[in-house]
Structure 1
């Protein structure tokens, strides 16, 4: 996923690497997407214009989760902390468990 936003007066690209977990169902009219969940792996931020300087320190992003720290920084901290990501294997396992339970119940 890629976003172009302004951060501290600098136009930046935020690139987020995610794995997608999708669930599909067969309906009378064909296959439909039932859900699409993202598992965040990592992200990065860079100025769009190479001459621009983005003054962000490690301390600025330290409060945020590693799997989406720059996305959170660009959103001024307004992201939930319970998004599944590689830095929270408990949340990822819960998502996979939920999907497996859904799959087993749907195939009965």
Structure 2
């Protein structure tokens, strides 16, 4: 049985996306580095920078007990020669103290990945999560939790509770990340189309 190159590329990309989540959450930093190209970039609520910097700060947080886990759902992949855009349904789950109460926050969204095949190997050039909906719950359901409404209202609806907990444990959170709808996600889609059409950088919608 023979398989088309298109199918083999899709399998390789899905494998890469799944390895990203498993190796990052397990703290397998050596293998986690292999999913990125050397110029890879990560954009998240609490971090924006190179893949190497992201691995370093993720490792430091992991060793300090920062609990961030990722769960994956379905994936849609657009292929154009040596480039691809992969969108993968996901949830981000983080545990930490909020106003003195141990809490879990769960954010549902998509990983929007700019990928390229170089020397026969697919790798992430840019990962940009899309944050669609989140919620915050005390680990102990009988606990009494009161949030600061002024702080909560500073963040977009799609990730305001995730931003809240991340702010309370000391991170500076970016306030204009893409959500389910709006100009930020429309701009991201535009950059995705430009990437497939040959744009020089995934961070800009022009060649």
Do these two structures clear the TM 0.5 threshold for a shared fold by scoring above it?
yes
Q: Which residue of 1 aligns with 2:187?
A: 94
Match of 2:173 among 62, 79, 82: 79
Runs of 4+ in 1 over 4 A off after TM superposition: 57-60
Number of residue pairs matched by the alignment: 105
Q: Which residue of 1 aligns with 2:19?
A: none
Unaligned 5+ residue runs, structure 2?
1-91, 200-207
SS in 1 for 2:115: strand
Q: Which residue of 2 aligns with 1:63?
A: 154
Match of 2:126 among 35, 42, 45: 35
SS in 2 for 1:105: coil
Please, what TM-score do these two structures have when normalized by structure 2? 0.46
The answer to whether the 8 Å contact 2:111/2:128 transfers is yes
49-58 or 31-40: bigger deviation: 49-58
For residues 195 and 151 of structure 2, the distance between their equivalents in structure 1, rounded to whole angstroms, comes to: 39
Unaligned 5+ residue runs, structure 1?
none
Tell me which protein shows more helix as a share of its residues.
2
Structure with bigger RCO (C-alpha 8 Å, 6+ apart):
1
For residues 96 and 57 of structure 1, the distance between their equivalents in structure 2, rounded to whole angstroms, comes to: 33
- Go from structure 1 to structure 2 and tell me whether the alpha carbon gap of 1:82 and 1:64 turns closer, same or farther (over 3 Å shift): closer
The answer to whether the 8 Å contact 2:99/2:147 transfers is no
Deviation at 1:59, TM superposition (A): 5.8
For residues 13 and 23 of structure 1, the distance between their equivalents in structure 2, rounded to whole angstroms, comes to: 30
